[in-house]
Amino acid sequence: MAVVPRAAEEGWPGAKSGAVTVVQRTSSDLRLNPHLHLVVLDGAWHEDGKELAWDALSHLRTSEVGAVLERVVRRMERHLRRSGLLRLDEDDDDPEGNLAA
């Protein structure tokens, strides 16, 4: 996650951040529409003496958002492949068509 390296850059080495992801399988009309909802902390917790301190970080740069997205896509593809839920057909240009229902 881009937040932890940014926290280290701003002087908080060892800082921790977090996120919660919920998988939603259908749209409001109950059609299959798998997608994710994420809540991501926009800062980091770090130790300040014996206390925990919260420090908000500035907005992610566009390049950092892209890096996070690429990492998430790679990890999701790897997980789906290992679970047998993603079939990769090299002739198929439609990645959604490769998902097992």
Residue 98 in any domain: the answer is no
Q: Name the percent of the chain lying above pLDDT 90.
A: 10
What gap in Å lies between CA 43 and CA 17, rounded to an integer? 7
Say which DSSP state 16 is in.
B
Q: What share of the chain is helix, strand, coil (3-state, %, to 5)?
A: 30, 30, 35
User: Taking the model in full, what pTM does it have?
Assistant: 0.56
The answer to the question of residue 71 being in a domain is yes
Q: Indicate whether 46 belongs to any domain.
A: yes
Residue 93 lies in a domain: no
Residue 16 lies in a domain: yes
Q: How many structural domains comprise the chain?
A: 1
Residue 101 lies in a domain: no
Q: Report the alpha-carbon distance of residue 40 to residue 17 in Å, rounded.
A: 8
Q: Give the C-alpha separation, 99 to 51, whole Å.
A: 46
Is 99 contained in some domain? no
Range of the domain at 17: 3-88
Asked, for residue 33, whether it belongs to a domain, the answer is yes
Tens of pLDDT, residues 62-89:
888 888 888 888 888 899 889 988 876 6
Mean pLDDT of 27-48: 87
